[in-house]
Amino acid sequence: MNSEFRCLPSVDRLISEERIRELARNYPHELLVKLVRQQLERERLAIAAGNRCSSIDEMVESITAQLRWLESPSLRPVINATGVILHTNLGRAPLSREAIAAMDAAVRGYSNLEFDLDSGSRGSRQVHIEPILCQLSGAEAALVVNNNASAVLLGLTALARRKEVIVSRGQAVEIGDSFRIPDVMRQSGAKLVEVGTTNRTYISDYEQAITPRTAALMRVHSSNFQVVGFTHSVSIEELVALGQRYSLPVLDDLGSGCFLDTTSFGLAPEPMVQHSVAIGVGLAFFSGDKLLGGPQAGIIVGKKQLIDRLRKHPLARAVRIDKVRLAGLAVTLLHYLKGEALRKIPVWRMISAPLEEIEGRARTWAEALGDLAQVTEGESMIGGGSLPGSTLPTRLVAISGGGRRKGHNIVPALARRLRRNEKCPIIGRISDDALLLDPRSVLPEEDPIVLEALRDLSVDRDSYR
């Protein structure tokens, strides 16, 4: 036997170490025994692989580090200074104060989620949200599910299983985090019939593809890319007119769920839900947490007779929305109905923030950094698969920290330092020679944390130069 194994302490010996005994006050004995056993097993494997034996101190340190990890939740708030308003990796839309309060109330105790308070009998969770969605979109009926990917899957499964759905080749694409129309189509059991070419599709292409097996015509909003140059695509008006001639519903995957006119903020036009409904699509699908500015959800509005078929499908139960997000979504939608969306919904406050206000905040941030930073002109992005190629002018704080030190780029070190900010990690955008911070995507109430972190960075400037 390898003599190194003899250096391994017993479980009891490690458990009786002073620092472990202190931990025993806050953690169950069984958990500590388990962690000690796992530590000793790792030591055995390491020795067997030819490594030296760790000291008792090192073993204790490793065990306490694991307990510290258990105490600090892995998922934590961060400050989004990237300037990408709907950043999928950073959790998409922050919610309004009222939506947060409604979600809080929904989890505190019980609720009338599926209970009719008048009759005292069972009800549907959809009644809390369907009238608001119908009022807002002009649709006859509405259904809310887990997210937009499951909304589209439910729609295709319930209406087009073992049948054909016609989609433009330029729209049979991958959107954002691996949502691929061809894959969703296959999963639903519907056959994808692609028409046209990547850059050009005409209404006659759709018409020629219609067969007795066709169940629907589909439009997918190409929300995260643009085809420019020699292009032609079919308008939603043309598609609905064709569908009406052949008694086929149009399924409209809008992606973002926009109810406000983006062009009034200098952005490219984003298709609006109420417009699709007014034109007469069969069903429109959209997310709750993109431009809508609410919690994760998949929203379907459209013709009652189609919505009823989705409602009855067994998949509807598998993708149903939970009570917390239902509560937050209802309040978010009410902001639109009350005409207060621009004031209350953070995503829209960020989009409509005056440039002078952003510039003022950027100057305050830059002052905290002294000569490490400058305020520069830049662009904020909408992100989250909305408004490709459309940006908002902004003001950025560019931290160069004096640039390169002996040819070594210090920008990644500055970015890491802000990501490790103890109070709340701050995420910026890295360009070649500067770390860029955009106040537009930072909630104003987070400014004090940013300022404190930037002052600290300024104090420690010499360690970066």
Ligand X SMILES: *Cc1c(COP(=O)(O)O)cnc(C)c1O
Binding site for ligand X (CB under 6 A): 147-149, 175-176, 179, 220-221, 223, 253, 255, 287, 298, 385
Contact 147, 286 (CB under 8 A): no
Return d(Cα 281, Cα 239) in angstroms, integer: 9
SS3 269: coil
Nearest-approach distance from CB 385 to ligand X, in angstroms: 4
Sheet holding 141-145, edge to edge: 141-145, 298-302, 283-287, 250-255, 214-220, 164-168, 191-195
Query: Is the CB of 136 or the CB of 300 nearer to ligand X?
Result: 300
Nearest to 328 by CA among 92, 168, 117: 92
Query: Is the CB of 221 or the CB of 361 nearer to ligand X?
Result: 221
Nearest-approach distance from CB 125 to ligand X, in angstroms: 19
Query: Is the CB of 292 or the CB of 351 nearer to ligand X?
Result: 292
Among the residues of 8-96, which ranges form H helices?
11-15, 18-23, 29-48, 56-71
SS3 246: coil
Contact 427, 82 (CB under 8 A): yes
Nearest-approach distance from CB 244 to ligand X, in angstroms: 23
Contact 222, 231 (CB under 8 A): no
Nearest-approach distance from CB 281 to ligand X, in angstroms: 14
Compute and round to an integer the Cα radius of gyration of the chain: 28
Query: Is the CB of 346 or the CB of 428 nearer to ligand X?
Result: 346
Nearest-approach distance from CB 331 to ligand X, in angstroms: 19
Contact 281, 235 (CB under 8 A): no
Contact 147, 287 (CB under 8 A): yes
Query: Is the CB of 271 or the CB of 439 nearer to ligand X?
Result: 271
Q: What is the DSSP letter of 320?
A: B
Nearest-approach distance from CB 375 to ligand X, in angstroms: 33
Nearest-approach distance from CB 253 to ligand X, in angstroms: 5
Query: Is the CB of 223 or the CB of 394 nearer to ligand X?
Result: 223
Angle formed at CA 284 by CA 280 and CA 290, multiple of 5 degrees: 140
Among the residues of 4-163, which ranges form H helices?
11-15, 18-23, 29-48, 56-71, 97-108, 130-137, 148-160
Return d(Cα 383, Cα 187) in angstroms, integer: 27
Residue 381, φ and ψ in degrees, nearest 5: -120, 155
Query: Is the CB of 220 or the CB of 321 nearer to ligand X?
Result: 220
Return d(Cα 368, Cα 76) in angstroms, integer: 25
Nearest-approach distance from CB 295 to ligand X, in angstroms: 11
Rounded to 10 degrees, the C-alpha dihedral 310/131/85/175 comes to: 10
Nearest-approach distance from CB 270 to ligand X, in angstroms: 11
Residue nearest to ligand X (CB): 255
Query: Is the CB of 43 or the CB of 253 nearer to ligand X?
Result: 253
Query: Is the CB of 256 or the CB of 394 nearer to ligand X?
Result: 256
Which token pair is 163? Answer: 């049948």
Nearest-approach distance from CB 92 to ligand X, in angstroms: 8
Query: Is the CB of 149 or the CB of 411 nearer to ligand X?
Result: 149
